[in-house]
Structure 1
Amino acid sequence: MFACFGNTLGVYFNCDDFLHLPYLYRLFSGEPELFLTNFSGPWVGERSLYLFFRPVTEVSLMVDYFFNQAIPFGYHLSNLLWHTANAFILFLFTKALLENLEVGERKDQLAMAIFAAGIFAVFPTHSEAVAWILARADLVSTFFLLLSLYFFVVGQNRKNSKSSQSKRVGQFTLLSLAAFFCSLLSKESAISLPVIVFALSITLSTADNRKQKLSQAAKDIAPYLVAFAAYLVWRFLAIGKLVGGYVGSIGQRLYENYFARWVSSGSLWQLLHPFNQGIYAENHVLRVILRVLYALAGIIVVAGIVIDQKLASRQKLIYFALAFFTATMLPNFQVWGLSSSMSGSRIAYLPSTALALIIVFSIYIVSPIIWSAKLGSAELGRVLKASSITVLISLALTFATVTNGNNIAWLNSAKSIRDLKKDVEKELATLAVGQKLVLFNLPSRVDGAFTFTMRPMLAGLFIAPVWPDSKKDQSADIVPLDYHPNWSIFVNRQDFETIIRQPQLYKLATYDAALGKLVKPDLTIPAELSPELSRDRDSSLPSLSMTVGQGTKSSSYYLKPEGPTKSINPLTVDFLELDVKVTKKSPQIFPPAQLSQTNNKASLFVIWNNRPADQEDQTEPHWTSVPADGQEHKILVELGPLKRWLLSKDVDEIRLDVATDEYDWQIGKPKLIGAKTITPNLSTTHNEDNYDLAPLSEDRKTKSPNQRIAKEAITFDFDASKTMGDKAGAAVLVEVSKPYASFEHYNYLMRERLPSKHALLRATLNSLKGSFTLETKPISSASSNASANNETDIAIYQVHVAALDDAGQVVGTFSDPVAIKSALPIAIK
């Protein structure tokens, strides 16, 4: 175990860890009431990313903090001990299960239990769960769930026993229920246990018919359902909801794309082929070895069906393990998604206990049939049984080797975070008086291991306890540009230009993924980026030539600047305009108007040279959807807000890639344009109201966070006068997002083209230029249960505007959204 996961002891803090460490620091530094609120409110009071209730997990972290404070080693050692305990409990549970069903001899029962625990212990999906401190929730919840199942099986064994020990069945039932309740209070996925107990009761039942088995199983799960109901009541009182989960636009998107995450993404395949692509190349020898072992295992499974005398018993076990696996997967319906870099693999931690059982019960041949000693069938049976054991040993060793390699991603992430902290300290030391350090293009993941996906997580790196009290608190001097409120591939272009226009106020430092450190950006500041910043740059942009490279399944269009300018300065460009006509090749039974929006769209991929080193979440080409209706459309490819585009250097070629196996493409009239007549301007009247430009000190939580927000209204300035051109109409549409929602998450556009279906507030202003006020619900009017219902909690919102013609249609695009931190918006005036 330690040979497999020992390298995780060198991992640092990651991502959500930085939300919990300041919470624990406050708990042990004068706010002991946080211990009780841990049992009466959402997890660490967090509502911005998720709404969870996991008090037992947090208690385990409190114990770690008491002994280790801001030293990561102790937390990682605890994770490893929890994981070791889980493997041991799985061993005990499997052994008790096999003894109850009398499968094989004692040595077979012991061997199968050891294999199940061993394969689970080293399974490659566990790197995230063990190496990431905050994945502790999966470890702790699994511990108590397995313990509950173990007590249930022992109780069933005692119930079927004629000895005096049978009188102690009730004690084991109580122990099982207590463990189940602790599991629920550790992570919500434990709701699967009553279903598992139901399947387990049927598996262990000695009743003569199905009706009796079902009746007994229903009686067995009754107390678990009562415990579950009590948990739901407690949970609702604590967080105001029964379900919870991820919130905002991230949570909403997770609810909308089940098929993509469960099936088409290949994440289920990744579960059985758990290689981190950032560590293991596609042709790595371990990938080949694992596939060979799976093939051999398949042969042995078929042979076992023919020759194993205990096949019926094994089938019963396999059916139970399949029910176990299904039950533990279903609670993950919202969050399931296993990437090729193994991000999200912690979610597979509990299901992998059942997966280990499936592997062992399917492969291990218990008792080969002896047909005839003369034919040597006894020897053949022994060979096949030995082969099944050999394959299981080989799988365990291969899994252990892969896991040890997958752990490297978390070591790489740890190095990146430590180096970033050092780089920021150096940059802070060079700031002039009144100057702020702006961090840009920070990674959200390194080789699949999470770094910072939200501003408050980054803030945790620069406040206590990670930033020691002995050092000057400089969180007020650090401004991150990558979050609004979540990490994004986009940036508000106006904010970016504000920063590069005012070097006396802002020092910009960008993260270079190739070097793994902060660097001074190599930007060619165009002359037109004057304080006036009129964005009238269309006349200075080069025209583009276009050549086509035809292929059998795809084609590429190469765009190059013409004239004296041989390269494109990305800071002068906002959009690439194209005339595009796409026709679906296959005959259409239904006319285009009746086709679904998904089926009637084709993807156009955009890539360019001299761009910065790719980060994990920025490796895919930029793309835009094009109607495949056989009609010509003028398409705007959004470039200006892309971080990768802004950090590119002297682009001299843009390539458009399209699939031609299903579509006929006609692309013409490529043109680079600015935002003058396309995108309105929007900004907060007072800079301090713009959350995107707020320092990290704004993300520090205190005893009374609401008291820091004194304003009950935020004023915005807008200008859409140049967007209208010669079109009739004089109106502007204002939209406010729901809390913690980003407009870009719905259509993958920073500058939307249509009104959002997901806006919280919407208003039309009869002016193309001016100001408006966003009124918020006064904090003082919050009801006693407001916190639970999230009605007046301070949250992050986005605001954007668009010009409307006289028909009420959007002209051009919406503005770059501006993020604000406020109480609930209630009116636009």
Structure 2
Amino acid sequence: MHIDAQRKDLLDKLHQAADDAQPPNSKLGWRGVVATVAFAAILLALMHFEFGGALNSYFTSDDLNHVTYAYRMLHDNGELLARTFSTVWMQDTSVEIFYRPLIEVSFAVDQYFSGANPLGYHISNFLYSFIGAMAVLSIARSLAERFKVLHVEIIGYVAALLFAVSPLHTEVTTWLIGRVDGLSTMFFLLSFALFLKLPLQSNAVKHIAGLASLVAFALALLCKEMAASLPLVLFSCSFFMSKESTNSKKMRSAAVESAPYFAVLAVYFLIRYWATGAFLGGYVGAVGEANILSFETLWYRLVHFWKVAFPFNEEVVKRTGGFEDAFRLFYVIFGFYLVVRIRFDRFGANQLKLIGFLSSWLVLQLLPLYQVFMIHNTLAGSRLFYLSTAVISIIAAVVLVPGTQSAMNPTQKRALNASAAVLFAFLSGLFIVVGRLNNECWIVAATHVEELQSQLNSAIATLPEKKKILLAYAPIQVLGAHMFNRYYLIQSMLSPPLLTPDQSKRVCVLEPRFYTYDHFIPSGPLRKKLADSDNFETVFWDTSTLRLTNLSALSGIDSSSANTAGLPQLVVQPGKLPGMIDIVAKQYFENRAVKFVDVDLENSEPKSNSSKDVLVLAFDESRQPPKGMDNWCQADYDQSLKFQTVRFPVDEKFAWYLSKETRDFRVYLGERKNLRIVAARLNDGKTLIPSLEASLLTVRECNDGVRRPIAFPLRFEYDVSNIPGAVNCLFELSRPRSMFQLENFTYRDVRPSKKALKSWTHAGTTGSVEVDRGMFPEDACYQIRAFALRADGSVCGVSTDFIDLGINDRPKGQEL
């Protein structure tokens, strides 16, 4: 036993000596330079194979805004450039309060050299990613050397290549505004790489390199706020690398080394506060609220790490295919490899110390994201994880590359080295192939945008001068790639330099921001525009045919009134599948005549406490809607009630307008045996929806669907007399930048908002109300709506169509 203990002690000392062995000198000779240049060429070729297919693709989504903004920057004698550095990002506080002036400068540089040609912009994004990968090469080498880990060069090459070809990077490399993360990460990594080189330099070079590192950090901050984590990362790195004897001394040493970066960060926060009025900022209004999660519900975000492990766009690469199995196979084999390494090629103290630092770096990158981090099945949102993939790539390289192998015989060494090489080649090849497929969605989205621009321009050319095009529906995404989420992107698409002459004034929409993941729309304004065919040509973008399609012809809605007197009865019957209920009209009816489908629901086992659940009503399943569009709607029901009427607002779904007649509906109850549909009825909404109209003497309607003041007080006419039991009218004014429809995901609420800025009651069922300027606490976009009230103060019917109000809400130079 004593001899075994001595032998074990001797082996431990040998292992530690091997761990502490000085790796090769980091200074590259001519062979090292040639090897690095050759690697860079290989990296460029692999990245071009993976991402190069989109280099000639058109602008999409936010790209449109930033290209037109850069165009104005170059044509206003520097005024907009000055405002870019002295106020919030894009001078637009309607959704976010960010400070990212260098992003607009980068677009302006691309604009200067490329104009409206997207190739130059895409090359810039590509180069940002490539330089970032080369910075990862330098960082991984330096860390391996500073922590005295063997195989410095190999670790660097493995980490850089895995980062460069990660399939998660399509959103950053191909989507032009993804440069927010690409450019910030590039400067972040360059700053870190230079910091790690400082101890190896002479005094003169050290001062220059140190200054360059601080400048790179400052530039990273001017690209994105997330770069603020760098001083903490450097502090952690210095702490783990310190040779001081105690933790307190290590902390003091780390504080001294990272102090200049904390000083730069402090100056940045002061400048940011001067420019934006906020030290932190972020998303505001309804978008900001949608991103807020409590720590109790934070676990919900953890499921998104699944897409980090399986990084393919499920709209392009189906989970039932072989790629998910290929990733699973890799992880299983890698698990066996890791067990073998731990057993025969143990991780030394230095390797564990390096992994400890890298883990702390990863945590520091992820913590600020906890409120917004979300990777969808389409990889939308993966850009937020971009910098973190650099850390993961270095961790993977340290774990994958074999260590000292001092306890292994030659055969075992060869087997372990071969296994590592095969695993690396397999993962790299898988990354490249999957990344190339992920990239396809951006090429498709760009094609959609370019076609829509061309067809809108052609349609405008044939319209009478007084007539406008109402674009009633434009998709937010295609296959997960971003397209349009607000009117101002469409406005930019139709403005110079992307389109000359400017045609943006000839196209309007229903609301300023689109939240059509479920494709629900403000049906009241849409019906009014469809009926006003003298002034509006109502169209939508068909994602299946890539055609601008006339909606009036499909919906049958025009200036004539619908026949609502003879709506047919509905018959409830069992469906063909278990848990399915068919609801069939005795004859076809006009879609335009129906706004709701009312379903009487019986619950044989009501719960003791009130709680909500959802039922889904499908309609018109004989017709396939355009890709990405749904022909169903949902409504809440109370699980504590034995009998209730569930009201489905079918005319809030865009697919409802794609046919003139319908007959069949279907409700899926599934395993809920306690629920039974007793009866169902069609409802024209005439006794449910009150009226609220803005006086054209006090407001004007703009192309983004927003009313803006002509003169205060603003005047609104209301009429709730059509609602049985109504005696009074309740008005609600939203908080700035908030939207009522995002509270319960409907435009037809049955209960007042819990978050309204102001609410007040007017006696009587008809009349007018005035809103003074003092009721709006700040310049922003608001909404106003009304409800009918019974004598006891309860709501009857549903809410009116809300009216969007813009109070000096547009940035200077972008007023409507």
Task: Check whether TM > 0.5.
Answer: yes
Once residues 667 and 735 of structure 2 are traced to their aligned partners in structure 1, the CA distance between those partners, rounded to angstroms, is: 35
Give the SS at the match of 2:61. Answer: coil
Matched, 1:85 2:131: yes
Unaligned runs of 5+ in 2: 1-46, 810-816
Instruction: Tell me the CA shift for residue 670 of structure 1.
Output: 1.1
Matches within 5 A, 1:397-416: 397-416=429-448
Give the SS at the match of 1:510. Answer: strand
Question: Which residue is 2:671 aligned to?
Answer: 660
Question: Which residue is 2:247 aligned to?
Answer: 210
Matched, 1:503 2:533: yes
Amino acid in structure 1 at the alignment position of 2:690: P
* Equivalent residues, number: 762
Instruction: Tell me the CA shift for residue 625 of structure 1.
Output: 2.2
Once residues 218 and 296 of structure 2 are traced to their aligned partners in structure 1, the CA distance between those partners, rounded to angstroms, is: 32
Once residues 411 and 261 of structure 1 are traced to their aligned partners in structure 2, the CA distance between those partners, rounded to angstroms, is: 34
1:119-165 C-alpha deviation (Å, 9 max, x unpaired)? 0001011101011111111111101111121122122456xxxxxx3
The one of 540, 545, 557 aligned to 1:515: 545
Give the SS at the match of 1:10. Answer: coil
Question: Which residue is 1:702 aligned to?
Answer: none
Instruction: Tell me the CA shift for residue 252 of structure 1.
Output: 1.0
Once residues 34 and 433 of structure 1 are traced to their aligned partners in structure 2, the CA distance between those partners, rounded to angstroms, is: 32
Percent of aligned pairs with the same amino acid? 26
Instruction: Tell me the CA shift for residue 745 of structure 1.
Output: 0.9
Matched, 1:573 2:573: no
Give the SS at the match of 1:47. Answer: coil
Matches within 5 A, 1:531-546: 539-546=565-572
Matches within 5 A, 1:446-461: 446-461=478-493
Question: Which residue is 1:109 aligned to?
Answer: 152
Matched, 1:771 2:814: no
Instruction: Tell me the CA shift for residue 180 of structure 1.
Output: 1.8
The one of 600, 604, 620 aligned to 2:615: 604
Is the Cα–Cα contact under 8 Å of residues 100 and 157 in structure 1 kept in the other structure?
A: no
The one of 779, 788, 791 aligned to 1:806: 791
Give me the CA root mean square deviation: 2.8
Question: Which residue is 1:76 aligned to?
Answer: 122
Q: 1:575 to 1:698 in 2, by over 3 A?
A: closer
Once residues 582 and 211 of structure 1 are traced to their aligned partners in structure 2, the CA distance between those partners, rounded to angstroms, is: 66
1:33-62 C-alpha deviation (Å, 9 max, x unpaired)? 111111110112122232210012222111
Matched, 1:682 2:692: yes
Question: Which residue is 1:429 aligned to?
Answer: 461
Matched, 1:559 2:583: yes
Question: Which residue is 1:336 aligned to?
Answer: 373
Question: Which residue is 1:818 aligned to?
Answer: 803
Give the SS at the match of 2:669. Answer: strand
Unaligned runs of 5+ in 1: 159-164, 372-376, 594-599, 700-707, 779-789, 825-829
Is the Cα–Cα contact under 8 Å of residues 342 and 448 in structure 1 kept in the other structure?
A: yes
1:39-94 C-alpha deviation (Å, 9 max, x unpaired)? 11011212223221001222211111111121111000000011100000110111
Question: Which residue is 1:475 aligned to?
Answer: 504
Q: 1:138 to 1:687 in 2, by over 3 A?
A: farther
Instruction: Tell me the CA shift for residue 344 of structure 1.
Output: 1.3
Question: Which residue is 2:520 aligned to?
Answer: 490
Once residues 340 and 790 of structure 2 are traced to their aligned partners in structure 1, the CA distance between those partners, rounded to angstroms, is: 73
Instruction: Tell me the CA shift for residue 637 of structure 1.
Output: 1.5
The one of 723, 728, 731 aligned to 2:728: 731
Deviates more, 1:359-368 or 1:59-68: 359-368
Once residues 358 and 131 of structure 2 are traced to their aligned partners in structure 1, the CA distance between those partners, rounded to angstroms, is: 20
Once residues 445 and 265 of structure 1 are traced to their aligned partners in structure 2, the CA distance between those partners, rounded to angstroms, is: 24
Give the SS at the match of 1:722. Answer: coil
Once residues 299 and 623 of structure 2 are traced to their aligned partners in structure 1, the CA distance between those partners, rounded to angstroms, is: 33
Once residues 188 and 287 of structure 1 are traced to their aligned partners in structure 2, the CA distance between those partners, rounded to angstroms, is: 34
Once residues 672 and 697 of structure 1 are traced to their aligned partners in structure 2, the CA distance between those partners, rounded to angstroms, is: 30
1:176-196 C-alpha deviation (Å, 9 max, x unpaired)? 332222211110111221221
Is the Cα–Cα contact under 8 Å of residues 602 and 627 in structure 1 kept in the other structure?
A: yes
Q: 1:807 to 1:65 in 2, by over 3 A?
A: same
Once residues 687 and 490 of structure 1 are traced to their aligned partners in structure 2, the CA distance between those partners, rounded to angstroms, is: 31
Amino acid in structure 2 at the alignment position of 1:740: R
Instruction: Tell me the CA shift for residue 456 of structure 1.
Output: 0.6
Give the SS at the match of 2:551. Answer: coil
1:557-611 C-alpha deviation (Å, 9 max, x unpaired)? 111102xx2x3432111111122244779xx8xx515xxxxxx322212222145
Deviates more, 1:362-371 or 1:274-283: 362-371
1:363-389 C-alpha deviation (Å, 9 max, x unpaired)? 222222335xxxxx3211221122112
Matches within 5 A, 1:574-589: 574-582=595-603
Once residues 398 and 186 of structure 1 are traced to their aligned partners in structure 2, the CA distance between those partners, rounded to angstroms, is: 31
Question: Which residue is 1:747 aligned to?
Answer: 744
Once residues 309 and 208 of structure 1 are traced to their aligned partners in structure 2, the CA distance between those partners, rounded to angstroms, is: 25
Is the Cα–Cα contact under 8 Å of residues 526 and 572 in structure 1 kept in the other structure?
A: no
1:4-61 C-alpha deviation (Å, 9 max, x unpaired)? 2111202211111222222222221124111111111011212223221001222211
Give the SS at the match of 1:652. Answer: strand
Matched, 1:125 2:181: no
Is the Cα–Cα contact under 8 Å of residues 485 and 513 in structure 2 kept in the other structure?
A: no
Q: 1:396 to 1:485 in 2, by over 3 A?
A: closer
Once residues 90 and 665 of structure 1 are traced to their aligned partners in structure 2, the CA distance between those partners, rounded to angstroms, is: 58
Q: 1:570 to 1:688 in 2, by over 3 A?
A: farther
Is the Cα–Cα contact under 8 Å of residues 753 and 813 in structure 1 kept in the other structure?
A: yes
Instruction: Tell me the CA shift for residue 690 of structure 1.
Output: 6.2
Give the SS at the match of 1:180. Answer: helix
Instruction: Tell me the CA shift for residue 318 of structure 1.
Output: 2.0
Instruction: Tell me the CA shift for residue 652 of structure 1.
Output: 2.4
Once residues 457 and 299 of structure 2 are traced to their aligned partners in structure 1, the CA distance between those partners, rounded to angstroms, is: 42
Matches within 5 A, 1:9-158: 9-104=55-150, 108-157=151-200
Once residues 348 and 664 of structure 2 are traced to their aligned partners in structure 1, the CA distance between those partners, rounded to angstroms, is: 64
Give the SS at the match of 2:505. Answer: helix
Once residues 219 and 581 of structure 1 are traced to their aligned partners in structure 2, the CA distance between those partners, rounded to angstroms, is: 70
TM value normalised by structure 1: 0.87
Instruction: Tell me the CA shift for residue 447 of structure 1.
Output: 0.8
Question: Which residue is 1:639 aligned to?
Answer: 650
Instruction: Tell me the CA shift for residue 742 of structure 1.
Output: 1.7
Q: 1:267 to 1:615 in 2, by over 3 A?
A: farther
Amino acid in structure 1 at the alignment position of 2:433: T
Once residues 610 and 366 of structure 1 are traced to their aligned partners in structure 2, the CA distance between those partners, rounded to angstroms, is: 63
Question: Which residue is 2:470 aligned to?
Answer: 438
Give the SS at the match of 1:580. Answer: strand
Q: 1:59 to 1:261 in 2, by over 3 A?
A: farther
Once residues 178 and 253 of structure 2 are traced to their aligned partners in structure 1, the CA distance between those partners, rounded to angstroms, is: 36
Is the Cα–Cα contact under 8 Å of residues 510 and 518 in structure 1 kept in the other structure?
A: yes
Once residues 413 and 766 of structure 1 are traced to their aligned partners in structure 2, the CA distance between those partners, rounded to angstroms, is: 51
Is the Cα–Cα contact under 8 Å of residues 370 and 378 in structure 1 kept in the other structure?
A: no
Give the SS at the match of 1:738. Answer: coil
Is the Cα–Cα contact under 8 Å of residues 233 and 364 in structure 2 kept in the other structure?
A: yes
The one of 351, 355, 360 aligned to 1:318: 355
Is the Cα–Cα contact under 8 Å of residues 485 and 740 in structure 1 kept in the other structure?
A: no
1:370-424 C-alpha deviation (Å, 9 max, x unpaired)? 35xxxxx321122112211220121111101111111110000010001101111
